[in-house]
Structure 1
Amino acid sequence: MTQKRETGKKTKRKRLHRMRKKPKIQESQSEVCESTAEKLPNTSTNVYNLFLAGALFLLAGSYILIFNAYRNRIKHG
């Protein structure tokens, strides 16, 4: 079965009306965003900075241990 495509002013108006309509949800979300956009809470933490510092210390310690083992191996042959 084939569907007939309606043409005319009425269908064009309906399509344009649907395009212009904004859902109520978006309007309320934009109102909430406008009220909270003024000042955001400070939620940052130093977890990633501490993780990076710990990883650097771990790498530095590993390098020192390997370098000392290599140097001792050369000295004591």
Structure 2
Amino acid sequence: MLKQGESAKILRYQTLPPHANHLQSLGLVPGTVVSIHRVAPMGDPIHLKLRDYDLCLRRDDLACISVAPMT
């Protein structure tokens, strides 16, 4: 799991097509760079920045996405 301030590139989904389609509709498509902007005090939800907008998702949703950390 990435930490606050870290960035990664989305590689693929590890979930069934209906859930993958939902993630794609939110802009979380393979090749997109996302950064962890903030994590809620209890660890859920997680505030992401991607493609010039902000998105908050549950940790369970993010666990379905394979990423490659940016260096």
TM-score range, shorter chain: under 0.3
When you count strand as a share of all residues, which structure comes out higher?
2
Larger Rg: 1
By relative contact order (CA 8 Å, sep 6+), the higher-ranking structure is 2
TM-score (norm 1): 0.17
TM-score (norm 2): 0.18
